[in-house]
Chain A
Amino acid sequence: MQKYWTIFRVNWQNALQYRGPTLISILGNLLHISVLLYLWNAIYRSGQHLGTYSLSDLITYYILQLMINSMVLSYISWTIVDEIREGTFSNFLVKPLDYLNYWFTINLSGKLFEGLMVTVVCLILSFVLIAHVSLPSQGLTLLRFALALVLAGLLAFEFDFAIGILAFWLVKVNSFKYMLQYGMFFFAGALLPLDLFPAQFQAVSNVLPFRFLVFFPIQIFLEKETAPMAGFVTAGLWVIVLYIILRFGLQRGIKRYEAAGH
């Protein structure tokens, strides 16, 4: 257990070193979100509206999306793919270290660091736009929101890790990865709230687990989610099922890797 704490600490140091680029990427997203906020504002000012959302709801949606982007979404698959393809994965085979737990720890420390940075940015932004932010009416909402975020983080990690270990089987995994990540992006509600999409699309997105990454947590916060409990249970089940699949997949992947004689 001690080793994982050390890994956490070391990666935190690393994240500290990269705080410059991290901040710039957050600011870049912030710039983009700002433009979107102007967009919504322009639409609502002209008397039009989007779905069942008030302007405040929409603005809050995107501020939260900015936060969730940095805090939850995982990009470790890039490194995992490189490690497997270049053979540095072998280093892990010889160490008494569980690959899945290792990456979970790294991801956790990185996300917490980024999360801290982005939360500060979002709080400032919300403060500036306080008149247009939909705040929850009860404290319970915040607790639920926190739980939703935790589930989102776990799921995001699991999806990304799964994509990463595809490299055990696929050579040209990077192009495939792009497609998968775009798909995830869409069905998570990161582009636009899912309930603005056409009905057929929504039917699909309701079945897929990706909505728990962005859409579900935000709906909880906005108090628009009609069946929060069902959502939590479903999300929890996905976490467990994916974990089992990942364990199994990792095992098979390692066997295949060893067989290839690295």
Chain B
Amino acid sequence: MKPLVTEAYATSLSGRWARYLRLYRSFLMHNLKNEMIYRANFAIAVGMDIVFMGVNVVFFAIVYGNVETIGGWTFHQTLILVGSVGVVRELAYLTFRQGFLQLGEYVRTGNFDVMLTAPMATFVHLAFRHVSLTESLGEGLMGLFLVGYGFAHLDAASWISVPLYLLMLFNSLVIYYAFSLMVNSMVFWLVKSQELNTVVYYFMNTARYPREIYHGLGKAFFTFIVPSSLIATTPASILAGRAEGHLIGLSIGVAVVLLGFALSMWNWSLHYYSSASS
């Protein structure tokens, strides 16, 4: 008896995209319902996020009380930077972060197999299954506020930069994703894996500073090995009116290469998992 599935399972590219978009919406709504059950915690979590970002702002406020520029960045330009980190984090939770946080548990309990048998690419399934609007909402909102505030107080603000800013935000999200994917692939062959996402967290934490503070080995490290210097600096520099063509090119290059590498590593790790386990 033939299966009775009749939706647009076109193998055409547009059909597949449409389907994944629909699935994304499904998961997002589903998770939102789940989160609404814990309403009280939600308010507190948002508060905590705002406080956390507030600490960052205070840090820079005090430093800028003593200096004019950091690496050439003014206070308001830096606010755009700090805000962009928050926005990227929220976007990450909206697209993939929570899935990685749950990965260790899935593999440990054996429930990960569901992702291997469902008719979806495994890495997409893992990413979409736990997409969350509210997990980092406070940071996202605060981030937007800081970006807006900083932008409004610039000496030479230019609205043309906004689309490019958004584009590079997306590029930063890709870098963040690729790095997370790479690190989390190790869950399949490490015995203890709780710390993997702590590593990713520390990584993102260092994104809050302008790239110009680095030089020499440090610059290379924070560009190619732990690409955190690109995550906030590149998009923020555009909005702040200090965009550099080569930086944009570099960021896109790193995103592409890292993503390719991460996907290979993920596939290899999955292959290992399917061969070596019982």
Contacts and interface: CB of A to CB of B under 8 A. Distances in A.
B213 A21 contact: no
Contacts of B218: 34, 38
Given A24-B199, A35-B213, A46-B69, 17 more contacts: A21-B198, A31-B203, A32-B202, A34-B218, A38-B218, A39-B70, A42-B70, A42-B212, A42-B213, A49-B66, A50-B66, A51-B66, A175-B47, A178-B48, A182-B51, A182-B55, A191-B58
Residues of B in contact with A, size category: 20 to 34
A192 B62 contact: yes
Interface in A229-247: none
Interface in B66-116: 66-71
Interface in A1-55: 20-21, 24-25, 27-28, 31-32, 34-35, 38-39, 41-43, 46, 48-51
Interface string B2-24: 00000000000000000000000
A31 B200 CA distance: 12
A198 B65 contact: yes
10 contacts: A28-B199, A31-B203, A35-B222, A38-B213, A38-B214, A39-B70, A42-B70, A42-B71, A50-B67, A182-B51
Interface string B201-221: 111011001001111001000
A38 B65 CA distance: 19
| Most-contacted residue by chain B among A24, A27, A51 (CB, 10 A) | A24
A31 B229 CA distance: 13
Contact of A24 (B55, B67, B198, B222): B198
A129 interface: no
Contacts, number: 80
Interface string A178-201: 110010011000011000111000
Contacts of B222: 35
B213 A48 contact: no
B63 interface: yes
B44 interface: yes
A43 B62 contact: no
A62 B215 CA distance: 19
- Pairs A-B, 3 closest by C-beta atoms: A28-B202, A42-B213, A48-B67
Contacts of A35: 206, 209, 213, 222
Interface of B: 44, 47-48, 51, 55, 58-59, 62-63, 65-71, 192, 194-195, 198-199, 201-203, 205-206, 209, 212-215, 218, 222, 226
Nearest to A201: B62
A43 B67 contact: yes
Interface residues on A, range: 20 to 34
Interface in A55-100: none
B58 A20 contact: no
Contact of A191 (B59, B203, B214): B59
Contacts of A50: 63, 66-67
Interface in A154-213: 175, 178-179, 182, 185-186, 191-192, 196-198
A103 to B, nearest CB: 24
B209 A24 contact: no
A48 B68 contact: yes
Given A192-B59, A196-B66, A31 B213 contact: no
Nearest to B214: A38
Contacts of B226: 31
Given A50-B67, A175-B44, A41 B213 contact: yes
B227 to A, nearest CB: 13
A35 to B, nearest CB: 5
Contacts of B63: 43, 50, 192, 196
